Structure 1
Amino acid sequence: MRQFTAVVNPTAGGSAGAAALLRVARLLREAGAELETEYSRSLAHAGELARRAGERGRAVLAVGGDGIAGRIGGALSGTGTPLGLVPAGRGNDFARALGLPADPAALAGVLLGHEPRPVDTIEVESAVHDRTVVLGSVYAGVDALANRHANNARLLRGTASYYAGALRAVTTWRAARYRITVDGRVHEHRGYTVVAANSGYYGSGRLIAPDARVDDGLLEVVMITEAPRLLFFALMNELKSGSHVRRPQVRVVRGSEIRVEADREVPYGADGEVEAVLPVTARVLPGALRVLY
């Protein structure tokens, strides 16, 4: 029977993380699994707790949203330690990409009965930010600015904070000129954003890269060019289904190493948490993480 260490982010959705874990923990223990709980003081601390648990031969449960999932997944990348997710955050986009069930009993069944499967991770390098490893995506442009606004929101929670952040970002954004190098091939465009996606979802359920797969050794690079604001808002609405990729203003290429530069200071983010400015390089680490899903 498996031994688990749950690492809880106490700030993810208030008390939602602890509540979500309680529902699953009872089922795990009733089935005979051993479970211990650690509360992180920060995302960096969460990664340290995860590594220590892995060194003791325990599977790690990331309890919270995409930020803690990405930080713990990055910390465990390349170690062989199995990772399980207990989604309890604002977006839960990586859990959505894996098809994890929301029902506690079904999730407990996955954590107890499924064998760990290899998943790709993304190594992120920047001159102004420490090297890090994330799970879902790296995005540079208006969406990074929107995510910053959402993270700083005080009155709104969940998806509402993303919508408010996006509206605020789009109304003030001016298009940047990007230079994107994908596996040595240069692509230039003027636009709103560039997204290098391992997971198809970002921004609380938006299907930015419908063909992205977490285990194919490649990133989907989605480039959204400059467009009138009304058209861009329509395109944003199409992110719910992924139909935006059929528009001529959207270009998609694939590759294993992507470098993104711009003609001015443009923010980028990763897994909802990393905040810095371009340039940035993202490369796939194929099958580097073992995940229960």
Structure 2
Amino acid sequence: MSGSPRSYSFLVNPASGGGAAPDAVVPVARLLRDAGAEVDVTYSPGPRAMAGLVAAAIERGDVVVSVGGDGMLSSLAGSVSLADGTLAILPAGRGNDFARMLGLPDAAAGPEAQARMLLEGAVRRVDLVSWTLSGAAPRRVAGSVYCGIDARAGELVDRAHRLPRTLQYPYAALRAIAGYRPARYRVVVDGESRDYEAATVVVASSAYYGKGMKIAPAAVVDDGLLDVVVIEAASKLSLMRSLPKVYDGSHVDLPQVSVLRGRRVEVAVDARGPVPVGGDGEPLGVLPGLDGVPAVVEVLPAALAVVGAVGSPRAPG
């Protein structure tokens, strides 16, 4: 491998991928060291310690490497971007959707491809998503924020560890649909308000979530825009039948799906019970009611420097 070796701080979530993350690190770290790079590996002591570890790594001039899934990535992306550092991703979780969006090599590509990406991959800037509830500090998310069925499915995935990994997300999605109740969402995009009877609302910078579901097929991570996907209320059977279309993005052609674009999105809901919100596989709370202060989702253009990210123009249309 050629190129000037960087120095790396690997931050590893040992629970990611059913415990696969630690094994993913060893061969890649060995190849980097063989190429002359300095490598430090730390197993995550918990989210509260992450900011300090990131700050120390960036002060040393290291590239911070997220080893785990989308939740681990999201816990690091905000800290890295706020400190103006550089992030790299070694995907080792169940979903790995942000790495998929960026075209990064996963475990199937082999450690040589992953080490080459870390050593030689170009650094480019991508957008992040800011999520804010009234009275709380903003939270930076890498891929998307989602409300309703999607967030409920995310909760169920965390309880589906006994199932094969390929079945966990489809199982959770079907369970979430089976128990869903439609709600009235108010969605305000760049000041223009719309009301929907809907099953879910997704605000995305990245096309993928839920282990390869192409929820926002036209989304691009470096265009300074958010794609808002609203799946309006339908029968449970209709939602279940349309679920496979989400994997190739063709669901956006259905009449009950609306796609909006903008830079600032407000969301509130009128529902019979709490409507959960998730982001990058992690819970973010519940949506406020229509009589409260709406949740705010904003794009943060070029907020994060990432090694090896592949840019792509927005699809026409």
Partner residue of 1:272? 281
Alignment of 1:76-95 (within 5 A): 76-95=80-99
Contact persistence 2:97–2:209 (CA under 8 A): yes
- Output one character per residue of 1:146-182: Cα deviation in whole Å (capped at 9) or x when no partner: 1011113342253422222212211110101000011
Residue type of the alignment partner of 1:31: A
Partner residue of 2:302? 287
1:187 aligns with 2:187: no
- Output one character per residue of 1:9-57: Cα deviation in whole Å (capped at 9) or x when no partner: 0111233111111121121111111100011122333343222211221
1:258 aligns with 2:265: yes
Secondary structure, aligned partner of 1:239: helix
Partner residue of 2:170? 163
Alpha carbons of 1:68 and 1:263: their partners in 2 closer, same or farther (altered >3 Å)? Answer: same
Q: Runs of at least 4 residues of structure 1 off by over 6 A?
A: none
Secondary structure, aligned partner of 2:237: helix
Aligned-pair identity in percent equals 45
Residue type of the alignment partner of 2:29: A
By how many angstroms is 1:127 displaced? 3.0
By how many angstroms is 1:237 displaced? 0.8
Secondary structure, aligned partner of 2:296: strand
Deviates more, 1:136-145 or 1:160-169: 160-169
Give the Cα–Cα distance (whole angstroms) in 2 for the partners of residues 255 and 151 of structure 1.
31
- Output one character per residue of 1:229-260: Cα deviation in whole Å (capped at 9) or x when no partner: 22211221101100101111110010111111
Contact persistence 2:151–2:283 (CA under 8 A): no
Alignment of 1:102-141 (within 5 A): 102=106, 103=109, 104-127=111-134, 130-141=137-148
Residue type of the alignment partner of 2:304: L
Alpha carbons of 1:47 and 1:206: their partners in 2 closer, same or farther (altered >3 Å)? Answer: farther
Partner residue of 2:179? 172
More strand per residue? 1
Alpha carbons of 1:278 and 1:207: their partners in 2 closer, same or farther (altered >3 Å)? Answer: same
Give the Cα–Cα distance (whole angstroms) in 2 for the partners of residues 209 and 289 of structure 1.
20
Selected match of 1:33 from 31, 37, 41? 37
Give the Cα–Cα distance (whole angstroms) in 1 for the partners of residues 158 and 48 of structure 2.
17
- Output one character per residue of 1:204-230: Cα deviation in whole Å (capped at 9) or x when no partner: 110000110110011100000011222
1:152 aligns with 2:167: no
1:197 aligns with 2:204: yes
Task: State the aligned residue count.
Answer: 293
By how many angstroms is 1:128 displaced? 6.9
1:214 aligns with 2:214: no
Give the Cα–Cα distance (whole angstroms) in 2 for the partners of residues 11 and 219 of structure 1.
31
Alpha carbons of 1:162 and 1:129: their partners in 2 closer, same or farther (altered >3 Å)? Answer: farther
Residue type of the alignment partner of 1:205: G
Deviates more, 1:251-260 or 1:37-46: 37-46
Give the Cα–Cα distance (whole angstroms) in 2 for the partners of residues 123 and 52 of structure 1.
24
Partner residue of 2:102? 98
Alpha carbons of 1:241 and 1:268: their partners in 2 closer, same or farther (altered >3 Å)? Answer: same
Give the Cα–Cα distance (whole angstroms) in 2 for the partners of residues 99 and 162 of structure 1.
21
Give the Cα–Cα distance (whole angstroms) in 2 for the partners of residues 17 and 65 of structure 1.
9
- Structure 2, unmatched stretches of 5+, are 289-294, 309-317
Residue type of the alignment partner of 1:181: V
Give the Cα–Cα distance (whole angstroms) in 2 for the partners of residues 164 and 29 of structure 1.
41
- Structure 1, unmatched stretches of 5+, are none
Give the Cα–Cα distance (whole angstroms) in 1 for the partners of residues 51 and 166 of structure 2.
26
- Output one character per residue of 1:66-122: Cα deviation in whole Å (capped at 9) or x when no partner: 001111011111322110000000100000000012222122111111221001011
Secondary structure, aligned partner of 1:13: helix
Taking structure 1 as the reference length, the TM-score comes to 0.96
Give the Cα–Cα distance (whole angstroms) in 2 for the partners of residues 43 and 205 of structure 1.
25
Contact persistence 1:191–1:225 (CA under 8 A): yes
Selected match of 1:10 from 1, 14, 32? 14
Alpha carbons of 1:147 and 1:128: their partners in 2 closer, same or farther (altered >3 Å)? Answer: farther
